[in-house]
Amino acid sequence: MEEPQQSSPEHVFALRRLVPPPALCGFLLLLALVFTVSYAAGAAVGPVAPDMQRSGTSGEGTGGTEGGMDMQHGSGG
């Protein structure tokens, strides 16, 4: 019968160095859970302002104005 080989201390140390600490794994798991729950809650509630439109999605032009500011009627010096 052959005896099972036991791993050397250097091998165990190298393996432990590759595995992240349990606290880090728990933190990342909790962070992913919080983001998942917040995304699900946001998707369930829907848009905050339904009448609000995204800029650049409509087919009509804005006449060269950016962000609702008209440079012709602005206060210039």
Domain ranges, residue 26: 21-45
Residue corresponding to tokens 């201390």? 9
pLDDT tens, residue by residue, 7-59:
677 777 777 778 889 999 999 999 999 999 999 999 998 888 777 666 655 55
Number of domains in the chain: 1
State whether residue 74 is helix, strand or coil: coil
pLDDT of residue 32: 98
**pLDDT on residue 63:** 54
* DSSP states along 15-46: HHHHSPPHHHHHHHHHHHHHHHHHHHHHHHH-
Residue 76 lies in a domain: no
- Encoded amino acid at 70, one letter: D
Residue with tokens 């962070």: 31
Q: Is 13 domain-assigned? A: no
